[in-house]
Each structure stands twice: as C-alpha cells, then as structure tokens.
Amino acid sequence: MDKHRVALRGASTAARRIALAAVPVAFLAVFLLWPVGAIIDRGIRPGGALDLSGFRDVFDDPGLRHIVWFTFWQAAVSTAITLALGIPGAYVLSRYRFRGRSLLRALVVVPFVLPTIVVSAAFIALGVQESLLAILLAHAFFNYAVVVRTVGGLWAHLDTRTEEAARVLGAGRVRTFLTVTLPALRPAIAAAASIVFLFCFTSFGVILVLGGPRISTLETEIYRQTADLLNLRTAAILSLVQLAAVLAAIGVSGWARGRRDAALGLRSASETGRAPRGWQARAFLAANLAVMAALLGTPIVVMIARSVPHGFSAYTQLRTTARGFTEPPIDAVWTSLRYAVVATAIALVVGGAAAFALAHASRRRRRGAARALDALVMLPLGVSAVTVGFGFLITFDRAPLDLRTSWLIIPIAHALVAIPFVVRIVLPVIQAIDPRLREAAAVLGAKPRRVWREIDLPIAARAALIAAGFAFAISLGEFGATLFIVRPDTTTLPVAIYRLLGRPGATSFSEAMAASTILMVLTALSIMAIERLRIRDVGEF
Amino acid sequence: MLEIDHLRVEYSGKPAVADVSLAVPDGTVVCIVGPSGSGKSTLLRAVAGLEPPTSGTIRWDDRDLAGVPTHRRRFGLMFQDHALFPHRDVLGNVAFGLRMSRLSAGDAEARAREALASVGLEGFEHRKVRELSGGEQQRVALARSIAPKPRLLMLDEPLGSLDRALRERLVVDLHALFRSTAITALFVTHDQDEAFALADSVVILHRGLVEQEGDPQQVWRRPRTEFAARFLGFSNVLDARRVDGVVRCALGPVPAPDDSASGALRVAIRPDGLRVADAGNITGEVVGCTFRRDHFLTRIATPHGTFEVATAEPAAMGAHLSVALDPAAAVVLPAHADR
C-alpha cells in the first residue's frame, strides 16, 4: 500500500519533470528548428525537388564570392585588433592596483552590452561612417570587454610566482612573458578570440549602418537579398553558408578551449595585484587608460553631445511624427519596453525550465538527454539574428502558424536570442547547489516539491533576476531579427534609430542621436539593476 | 526504538554497508566508530531514507520503514559540515523543520528561538550562516536538527571539522544535551574519544560489517578482534599459544579468559601496557621516540617485532632496552581474526 503510493508519487514527479523539459523543446522546435528547416528547404529544394544549382550560382557570382571572403576577413582582422588592444588592457586591469580600478572595470563592460545600433550611431557621431575603419573600430569597441573579462579574469588569478621563478632563473621580461605567461593564458585568449570572431562574423547592425551600400557581409547581404531584391532563394543559400561557417567556428573554438593545459596554480586576485612601480609601469598604465578613453569613451560622449546641439530640442522632436513615419519615434520607446517585458518573461519561463531540466538530467546522469537538450538551447547562439529573422519571415507568414499580424512574433524572436544567456546564467547556480541541502530539507520533513520550492527556487531566483536583466537588455537592443519582421506601425527603438539615421538632414541626425542616447540609458539601467543584485554568496557571474 | 536487521547498501555493485544489524533503544545514544570508508555515513543515510537498502530491513517501533520517504520519517540528521541553508539566516535554518511540520509561523519561530537558546546562540537569530565560525555553524546545525523534536537524532561526524580545543568543549555540551533531553540518538565518528565520551553503546564498524559492539568501557578494555584492538590503540599485537590452560606470548604468560580457544592465539597490548624493565623478557634497540603530551612513545625493535612502549622519559636512539609486560593490560584475541 505504502509502496504503491510511493510509486504513484514517483510517476507524477516524473511527469512533471518531462513537462519541464517539454517546454523548451517545444518552443525551440517551433520557433527555431522549423524556421531553420524552412530556410534549408528553400535553399536546397526550391521547386519541391532537390536542386543544388543555387549554390553554384552563388559561388559563380564574383560579387557574392567576395562577400563570403570579406566576411571572414573582416572578422579575423577585427579579432586581431581587439586582441592587440585588449590583452594589454586585461593586464592593466587585472594586475595593477590603482585608484578607480573597480569602477573602470565595470565601465569597460558597458560597450559590450550596448545595442549594436547605438554603437553604430556613436561611430557615425564620430564622423567615420561608411568605411572599413569604422567597422573594425566599432567591433573593437564592442568586444574589448570580452578580452578584458575573459583574459583578465584568468590573469588576475595566475600565480605570479611562476613568472618570478623564470626571472630568477635568468629570463628577461619579454622572454618570461612569451615562455611562461602567454602559454598559461592561451586557453583564455583562445576562448576570447573565438567568441570575438563569432560576434564579428555575425555582426549585422554595425556593418549595415557603418558599411554603407558598398560594404557587405553575409549577414547584411541576406537582408539585402530579402528586403531590397526579394531574392529569397539566394538569401536562403547565403543563410546556409552562414550557418555552416558559424557551426564550424563554434567547433573550432570548442576544440581550442578543450585543449586546456594541465591545471594552473591559481591564486586569489588580491595576491597577484600590485601598484605600478617605476616610470615604465606607470607609462604603460597611462597608455592603456588612454586607449580605453579614446576607444570606449569618445564615441559615447560624442554621441550624447551631438544629441543636444541646440538644447534638448531633438528629444522633444521625437514626439512628433515626421514625414515617412506612421508614428512619432518616442512611441518606439514604449513599444520596445513592452516587447522587452514580454520577451523577458518568455525567455525566463523557457530558459528557466530548460535549466531545471538540464540540472536534473545531469544529476541523474542522463548524459545523452542532457547533451541533446543543452545543444538545442545553445543553438540560438550559433544561429545569427538575421537567420532567425529571415526564418521567421518565410515560416510564419501562412497557415498553420500565421503570425504576420501578431505583435507577439517580435518578443518571441527576442526571447529566442536571450534563452541561451538565461540558461548559461541560471544553470550553473542550480548545479552548484550542494545536494546535501536538499537532503537536509527532506530529513527536516519537506516533501520533494517543497524541497524544490524551499531550496532550488530561492537559490535560483537571484540568478533568474540577473538573467532577466540581461534578457531585458538583449530585447531592448535586438536589431537584426527585428528588422525582418517588424511592422511599420509598431517599430522598436533600434529600428526607429536605423530609420532616423537613414534620413537626410541635421534634425533627423540629432533625433537619431537622442533616440540612441535614450536606448543606451535604458540598457544601462537594466544592466545596473543586475549589478546591484550581484551578491557574492550565491555565486559570481 | 530503531532496529536494523541484516542491512546491506550497495553503490554500483560495491557494498558500502555489507551486513549490519543493530538496535537503538529509546532514550539511548549509540555511537558508530570506524575508519573512513567503513560505511558509517552510508548507514546513517540509509536510516534517514536517503539511500535505498539493497537488502535487509530498517524498522522503527516494529514498523518497516521501506515505503516511508525521508520527509515522513521524522528523524533528524545533522550532516557532516552541517549543510546549512545559505539563503536563510540562522533563525530561518532552525525554523525550517518546524515550518514543515505545519506549525504556525509564530509557533515555529518561538520554538526555533528556544532551540537556539538551548545551544547557547541567543541573539544570533538574524545572522547570516556564512558569517558564523565553525563552532557556531555546528551549533546552528544541532539546533536545526533538534528543533522539530525528531524521534531519532542522527549525527554524522558532528565535530569533524572543528579544532581540537573546540571539539573537547562541544563533546561536553553534547553530553549534557543528550542527558538532559533523554534523546534517542545514533551518531557516527572516526574519533574514539568522542564515541566513548558520549555513547551508551559503541559499535565498531569495519568494511561495512559490525566488528564489535557493547558498553563503551567493555569495548575499550576488551576488544574482541584484532581490527578492533588496533583501532582502539592496542598497537602491539603478537602471536601467542595456549598450552595447558596458560596463554603464553614472547613477553610471558597472559591471563586468559575461559572461553578462549586453545592453540594459536594473538595477544594485543596498548603502549601503556608495556614498560621498560631492568630484566624483561625481550631486549631490543630503540629506533624512535616521540613526545606524546603526557608520555613518550618509544619504538623498540626486537627479534619478535617492533613494540611501542609508553615511557616517562625519552629514550636515546640506538639504546638497548628490555621490554616487560603488565599482564592485566593484555587482551587475548582469536588468531586470524582479521577478515
């Protein structure tokens, strides 16, 4: 009788767990696998039968061939520049102790969370638009923080005594760096480089806005083929090329990171930091601070300055509907906030369910199931925003799921982009929960569901709040996917900025700067809310 | 009353608990001692319902607990390293079990405060558990496990991670608590001092089997197997024979209990059961001497093996000394008792 009841309870718990995993699986199957499948179908079976001639046509076209080459090239050069500027910065911020360092560390991350359209607007404000240099600098601006955080994070904990040992054994500064420090940093540098390369490879907003009509990458070309030339087949084939390249890049980066050297002797950061000593160290610090100020500070400051050429008229101007617009740009602010709330809710529900399901599967050693689900929820990271937007455009325009007239399609696309981040923030926290806490709760009389509510949920809740802040910021700034599916009467703020930037005239320009400043402030607020919640005793993010 | 009958618990085919039977009568404190890996913690986890038994039964007041999930057993378990809830303050930790028993929030809080007071932590209610010292955490964990008044309190190495001085003080506190509340408790330690100080009955566990159990004084004085003897500090073990009713070893005759078999036997002696004599039975060379607070432990290598002898004064390395036996301190064991 007792055993029977236990078995019944086990069955209902199992059903709940399956339901938990079903939420992300169903969501991603419908909103990710189906659209990607539709792109593949359109690319290789244009008439219903297998036909790969489209690939030949694309690669026979010298213009398109050039675009594929340029996409790789600009990503590689952007990555090299970012590493060259970022590695010294990482050293300064992780090894030197100076006044204002923790504030500077926080500020350096700001560009990374800024929407691409704001970054583009900031570089236009500098007056370097429609040039390769602008693109490369904007990519460096954007990704500087990735290098500082990833490489600096390791550098701060690297045991300085191995370097001191090398010096005592007779190696010079440069030799020590090359033979001791650099090999130890290699995993972090490889990780940072592969992430930066991926971001630059799939960069859309920056290239669309700063590249002008002459510079194009796979991402922007997919958009042009779709929106301007209505050539959906070529767009589909380019999407497939893009997808293959991105998956290859992810594979290479996984391989590079997998080859970590033997365990490093890591120290607490407080042991490795020291004040800069000697004029060389101080000059090195000053040079790096100057790079940070010039690269990261100037564009933002100039953008804000150019939003107020004659007081705040550009901001008030946002309330009026200009010619060619169906609503005043200020409405886009409310639209974006509304979408961000919905997108955050969707991302938290789907990502949270995925995180709990993944944690449970790995606890029960269901490796296969865990790996499959993990790959599925991480897939949106590999599928570029443009692919998502294009896939949505060609999938949800007819029965069985016609979302053309539903505003929900945009928050859904935003949530899709945010889900991997939610999972990556929440999952480690759940996995880090000491299993004995659950056991202790059970011994004290909590039944399984109560254990979940009393232990897992409150501990995960703080991580979920942090994830919510990220998801909100991601939704606010999402540009690539939105541009494909946005309706003219309900424009999001990034799309409104893009349209304002595309209009001639000084007034429109100031308005674009004003709208960008608003978007930047909103993003910064949601990220700052996160920073306030970052509390050490639950885990570091 | 807890009764464990032929319990076996396996982890992926390997028995952590091989075959254990024991009972904890109401109002008594039973202590399980054994080296690490002997299955002590697994035994507690099985009683708590956290590990399913492979075979055997666990009963409480004649009721089989096999179908009763952990949260319905109303047992308390104080975990090794405490497992305090990091997201709750001290009071929240202690009140947890009371809230689970459907007490009103006010009653739960009042009783949690009582439990905190009983371990001497008044005023700690709203401290974060991470900010507490090891000894304070230990007290919070104790308060948390006793607050719901469990039918059986289990403690897994309750003083394991604390420094020596603190352990000795907390042993006294635990003893007072056990006596004043007439609690039924089963606890586990690798530290014999704790076990003998606190227990009404001691169980020595070795490789998942009960090596010996009984009243602490009796176990301490009369280990019945070579493993138990060595574990309890009888570091000198040598061969012996019973001839014509007299047990003899290399150090001389030893009084034998009547029940010991004849033929090959073993004799175990603690270092303080040996002494350096002017004319002992065996002479050997000093190969080591270490200071042990109230005595010196001198190692003397002889043709019959190396003996550990407690001496009042340090011995010089290489000196030749004779070893004599205090016959009353020797314990006769069956030969080949080591499984």
The pLDDT score that the predictor gives to residue A538 is 39
Residues in A closer than 8 angstroms to B157, CB to CB, are none
> Does the structure show a pLDDT above 80 at A139?
yes
> Does the structure show a pLDDT above 50 at A1?
no
Of B70, B83, B97, the CB nearest to A434: B83
> Does the structure show a pLDDT above 80 at A181?
yes
Show the tokens assigned to B136: 């304070």
Q: What percent of chain A has pLDDT over 90?
A: 20
Chain A's closest residue to B147, CA to CA, is A444
Contact A354, A377 (CB under 8 A): yes
Of B101, B128, B130, the CB nearest to A445: B101
The pLDDT score that the predictor gives to residue A416 is 93
- pLDDT band (50, 70, 90) for residue A265: low
**Residue A289 CB-density burial (10 A; 0-12 exposed, 13-18 middle, 19+ buried):** middle
Does A271 contact chain B (CB < 8 Å)? no
The pLDDT score that the predictor gives to residue B238 is 87
Instruction: Using the Cα atoms of residue A289, residue A87, residue A109 and residue A281 in order, give the sign of their dihedral.
Output: negative
Average pLDDT over chain A reads 83
Q: Pairing relation of β-strands B263-269 and B236-243?
A: antiparallel
Interface probe with B: pick from A444, A449, A536, most Cβ of B within 10 Å: A444
Cα–Cα distance between A517 and A520 in angstroms, integer? Answer: 5
Residues in B closer than 8 angstroms to A436, CB to CB, are 79, 83
Cα–Cα distance between A369 and A99 in angstroms, integer? Answer: 49
Residues in B closer than 8 angstroms to A5, CB to CB, are 67
Residue range B230-267, pLDDT digits in tens: 999 899 998 888 877 788 888 888 887 766 566 788 88
The pLDDT score that the predictor gives to residue A323 is 65
Residue range A46-85, pLDDT digits in tens: 777 777 787 888 888 888 888 989 999 999 999 999 999 9
What value does the mean pLDDT take over residues A109-125?
87
Residues in B closer than 8 angstroms to A537, CB to CB, are 86, 128, 130
- pLDDT band (50, 70, 90) for residue A534: low
Contact A203, A136 (CB under 8 A): no
Gap from A12 CA to chain B (nearest CA, Å)? 15
**In one letter, which amino acid is B50?**
L
The pLDDT score that the predictor gives to residue A28 is 93
Cα–Cα distance between B198 and B176 in angstroms, integer? Answer: 9
Which of A395-404, B105-114, B295-304 comes out lowest in average pLDDT? Answer: A395-404
Gap from A364 CA to chain B (nearest CA, Å)? 14
**In one letter, which amino acid is A400?**
P
Which of A165-174, A321-330, B62-71 comes out lowest in average pLDDT? Answer: A321-330
What value does the mean pLDDT take over residues B12-36?
91
| Residue-wise burial string across B102-117, b where 16 or more C-beta atoms lie within 10 A, e elsewhere | ebeeeebbebbbebbe
Inspect the interface and report whether the beta carbons of B76 and A444 lie closer than 8 Å.
yes
- A287-306 residues touching B, CB cutoff 8 A: none
Inspect the interface and report whether the beta carbons of B50 and A439 lie closer than 8 Å.
yes
Residues in B closer than 8 angstroms to A437, CB to CB, are 83, 85-86
What H or E segment, with its residue span, contains residue B253?
A: strand B252-254
Inspect the interface and report whether the beta carbons of B79 and A440 lie closer than 8 Å.
yes
The DSSP-derived string for A211-269 is STTT---HHHHHHHHHHTS--HHHHHHHHHHHHHHHHHHHHHHHHHHH---SPP-B--H
The pLDDT score that the predictor gives to residue A19 is 82
The pLDDT score that the predictor gives to residue B172 is 86
The pLDDT score that the predictor gives to residue B20 is 94
Q: Which residues of B touch A (CB under 8 A)?
A: 45, 48-50, 66-77, 79, 83, 85-87, 96-97, 100-101, 128, 130, 144-145, 148
Whole-Å CA distances, B301 to B189, B274, B306, B313: 33, 14, 4, 18
What value does the mean pLDDT take over residues A238-244?
86
> Does the structure show a pLDDT above 70 at A269?
no
What value does the mean pLDDT take over residues B79-92?
89
Residues in B closer than 8 angstroms to A6, CB to CB, are 67, 69
Of B76, B101, B128, the CB nearest to A443: B76
- pLDDT band (50, 70, 90) for residue A36: confident
Does A445 contact chain B (CB < 8 Å)? yes
> Does the structure show a pLDDT above 60 at B322?
yes
Q: What percent of chain A has pLDDT over 70?
A: 91
Which of A89-103, A224-238, A421-435, A526-540 comes out lowest in average pLDDT? Answer: A526-540
Gap from B3 CA to chain A (nearest CA, Å)? 19
The pLDDT score that the predictor gives to residue A270 is 63
Does A7 contact chain B (CB < 8 Å)? no
Contact A256, A190 (CB under 8 A): yes
- ipTM (interface pTM): 0.83
Inspect the interface and report whether the beta carbons of B69 and A537 lie closer than 8 Å.
no
Does A536 contact chain B (CB < 8 Å)? no
- pLDDT band (50, 70, 90) for residue B13: confident
Inspect the interface and report whether the beta carbons of B86 and A538 lie closer than 8 Å.
yes
> Does the structure show a pLDDT above 50 at A3?
no
Does A165 contact chain B (CB < 8 Å)? no
- pLDDT band (50, 70, 90) for residue B336: low
Top pLDDT among A261 and B79 is at B79
Interface probe with B: pick from A443, A451, A538, most Cβ of B within 10 Å: A443
The pLDDT score that the predictor gives to residue A267 is 63
The pLDDT score that the predictor gives to residue A536 is 42
Chain A's closest residue to B131, CA to CA, is A537
Top pLDDT among A478 and B243 is at A478
What value does the mean pLDDT take over residues A106-124?
86
| Angle, helices A506-533/A457-477, rounded to nearest 10 degrees | 170
Residue range A202-222, pLDDT digits in tens: 889 899 988 888 889 998 998
Which of A29-33, A98-102, A265-269, A326-330 comes out lowest in average pLDDT? Answer: A265-269
Cα–Cα distance between B73 and A442 in angstroms, integer? Answer: 10
Cα A471 to chain centroid distance, Å, stands at 10
Gap from A423 CA to chain B (nearest CA, Å)? 21
Does A6 contact chain B (CB < 8 Å)? yes
Residues in A closer than 8 angstroms to B115, CB to CB, are none
Interface probe with A: pick from B11, B44, B45, B50, most Cβ of A within 10 Å: B50
Average pLDDT over chain B reads 88
pTM: 0.78
Of B68, B73, B148, the CB nearest to A2: B68
Length of chain A: 541
> Does the structure show a pLDDT above 50 at A180?
yes
Q: Supply φ then ψ for residue A145, to 5 degrees.
A: -65, -35
The pLDDT score that the predictor gives to residue B143 is 92
> Does the structure show a pLDDT above 80 at A89?
yes
The pLDDT score that the predictor gives to residue B339 is 42
SS (H, E, C) A437-503: HHHHHHHCCCCHHHHHHHHHHHHHHHHHHHHHHHHHHHHHHCCHHHHHHCECCECCHHHHHHHHHHC
Residue range B153-201, pLDDT digits in tens: 999 988 877 788 888 888 888 888 888 888 899 989 888 888 888 899 9
